[in-house]
A and B are shown apart, each in its own frame.
Chain A
Amino acid sequence: MIEIAENKCDFCGCCVGVCPVNCIEVMEADIRIEHEICIDCDICVYVCPIEVLSQTDSKKSSSAAA
């Protein structure tokens, strides 16, 4: 699952632009992910310029890195 470090986010929307299933919502000062729709592709984790997002499923992240 994608975890959000909420107090770090700058609400820039970079992650929204790349999400293949359009399940991230960024407002003026709030960010939400619809976890039921998320396909855990981790692309949002890679693009975030300030490491707000992380993949909590360690098996998933290690296989993605491989």
Chain B
Amino acid sequence: MWKDQKKFDCIVVGGGPAGSTFARVAAEGGLSVLLLEKDRDIGVPVRCGEAVSDAGLRIFHEPNPRWIASTINRIKLVAPNETVVEFDLHQKGYILDRRIFDYDLAEFASAAGAQIVTKAYIDGLIIEDDKVVGVRGTHVGERFEKRAKIVVGADGVESRVGRWAGLNTTVKLKDMECGIQKTVTGIDVNEHMFDFYLSRKWAPGGYLWVFPKGKHKANIGLAISGYYAKDGKAAHKFLDEFMAWKYPNASVLTTVVGGVPVAKTVKQMVMDGLMLIGDAARTVNPVTGGGIIPGMRSGLLAAETAVKSLNNGGPTRKNLTPYEKAWHKIGGKNHERFYRIKETIFRFTDDDLNRIADGIANVPEDGRSLLKLFTIAASKKPSLLIDVARVFTGI
């Protein structure tokens, strides 16, 4: 029983995909793991469009049909002038049901031996001799303190764990995408297609998505860059206008809001006794805003390093640094390229976007791809073409 146990190898703050993946892999590696989640329910509310690629998911798990609301193989882009361009995705994507997916990830962690506690809110760290040695919080109204060799900040976009330890994880205004999403029914959608609407009028500095969850249900949401949010029109107004125009008779089942940090990954991801993973470490892909798979990847890499460090020398910054290095080697370089691409495309005007849509519309359908699209998009800034080529072809 976690209440009677004073000390753990690892305490994970946050039960999203990153935290649950870390907890599973660390427990499989023989560590004692306590995962603390502030909400009453793992995975709820779902502040997410729920899109992942098949290839990304398969790094971790065989896709389970229970997790999948729709299988996607085509993509549709709508330009500001309402030019529509469609093409094949050349790979499979899914719209998940994250209520089930996140639950299962936590169950896998529990089956591996991790203890999972909900309604446990962390509001501070125990720091001794500049080392993080535990956490403080409240569980159903009762104060508690727990000690651990490694505390893992998996506490999402709202992460404070790193900041309490003195790491700078603040997201710049221009690097925060301010999102809102409605899960709606009573509409007709192509259940195998991602729809993206690109325009300053729909979602300045971001995009609007329609992600199907069947033939008559979809996640419809948008995110606008903080850079444009500063102009005073909040995200919800953009979505209300779009819904009134495109889907006036939709029934809204859920509305959620949320921030997507499209920032560079934090420079320092570890210190003595502390690791940051997932949104807390700013691992989201800055172009797509996809953070599920990068978060899980960082959780996996961090847990592998945690296991090694505790078997060999202890959780010093030096011994935890291999995680930082592994992240930069596997995901980090592409992450920085994506960040550079995002820095250019989030300033595109509607004229730029119309020009890009025309460019891709002029390519015969079997020649269209994301690589082609981004190559056209980057043509205004040739130095970006190398980044585009590298991230889409894996060079």
Residues in A lying within 8 Å of B, measured CB to CB: 10, 12-20, 22, 25-28, 43, 46-51, 65
Q: With A12-B47, A19-B170, A28-B38 in contact, do A49 and B235 touch (Cβ < 8 Å)?
A: yes
Binds A, one of B1-9, B190-198, B252-260: B252-260
Q: How far is the CA of A15 from the CA of B158 in the complex (A)?
A: 8
Q: How far is the CA of A26 from the CA of B258 in the complex (A)?
A: 12
Residues in B lying within 8 Å of A, measured CB to CB: 38-40, 45, 47, 119, 121, 123, 156-160, 163-164, 170-173, 176, 178-180, 226, 229-230, 232, 234-236, 256-259, 261
Q: A13-B156, A14-B176, A50-B234 are in contact. List 5 more A-B contacts (CB 8 A).
A: A13-B259, A16-B158, A16-B159, A28-B119, A47-B259
Instruction: Report the nearest B residue to A25, measured CB to CB.
Output: B123
Q: With A49-B257, A50-B234 in contact, do A18 and B173 touch (Cβ < 8 Å)?
A: yes
Q: With A17-B171, A26-B158, A49-B179 in contact, do A12 and B256 touch (Cβ < 8 Å)?
A: yes
Residues from chain B with Cβ under 8 Å of A20 in the complex: 170
27 contacts between A and B (CB under 8 A): A10-B257, A12-B158, A12-B259, A14-B179, A15-B259, A16-B157, A17-B159, A17-B171, A17-B176, A19-B170, A22-B164, A25-B123, A27-B38, A28-B39, A28-B121, A46-B173, A46-B226, A47-B176, A47-B178, A48-B178, A48-B234, A49-B179, A49-B234, A49-B257, A50-B236, A50-B257, A51-B234
Q: How far is the CA of A46 from the CA of B231 in the complex (A)?
A: 8
A18 touches B171 (CB 8 A): yes
Q: How far is the CA of A17 from the CA of B47 in the complex (A)?
A: 15
Q: How far is the CA of A48 from the CA of B230 in the complex (A)?
A: 10
**Residue of B40, B235, B256 with highest tally of chain A CB at under 10 A:** B235
Q: How far is the CB of A41 from chain B (nearest CB, A)?
A: 9
How many A-B pairs have beta carbons closer than 8 Å: the answer is: 90
Q: How far is the CA of A22 from the CA of B165 in the complex (A)?
A: 12
Q: How far is the CA of A17 from the CA of B170 in the complex (A)?
A: 6
Q: How far is the CB of A34 from chain B (nearest CB, A)?
A: 12
A17 touches B178 (CB 8 A): no
Q: How far is the CA of A39 from the CA of B119 in the complex (A)?
A: 31
B226 touches A18 (CB 8 A): yes
Q: With A13-B157, A26-B158, A49-B235 in contact, do A18 and B172 touch (Cβ < 8 Å)?
A: yes
Which listed residue (A12, A18, A43, A65) contacts B257, Cβ 8 A? A12
Q: How far is the CA of A25 from the CA of B230 in the complex (A)?
A: 22
Q: With A17-B157, A49-B178 in contact, do A43 and B236 touch (Cβ < 8 Å)?
A: no
Q: How far is the CA of A46 from the CA of B176 in the complex (A)?
A: 10
A22 touches B179 (CB 8 A): no
The 5 closest A-B pairs by CB, nearest first: A13-B158, A14-B259, A49-B235, A16-B158, A49-B257
Instruction: Report the nearest B residue to A19, measured CB to CB.
Output: B170
Q: How far is the CA of A20 from the CA of B226 in the complex (A)?
A: 14
Which listed residue (B121, B180, B259) contacts A17, Cβ 8 A? B259
Q: With A14-B157, A17-B159, A26-B158 in contact, do A46 and B258 touch (Cβ < 8 Å)?
A: no
Q: How far is the CA of A48 from the CA of B45 in the complex (A)?
A: 17
Instruction: Report the nearest A residue to B121, measured CB to CB.
Output: A27
Which listed residue (A10, A16, A47, A49) contacts B160, Cβ 8 A? A16
Q: How far is the CA of A19 from the CA of B258 in the complex (A)?
A: 15
Q: How far is the CA of A50 from the CA of B240 in the complex (A)?
A: 11
Residues from chain A with Cβ under 8 Å of B180 in the complex: 49-50
Which listed residue (B159, B173, B232, B261) contacts A43, Cβ 8 A? B173
Q: How far is the CA of A51 from the CA of B226 in the complex (A)?
A: 13
B163 touches A22 (CB 8 A): yes
Instruction: Report the nearest B residue to A24, measured CB to CB.
Output: B158
Residues from chain A with Cβ under 8 Å of B40 in the complex: 28
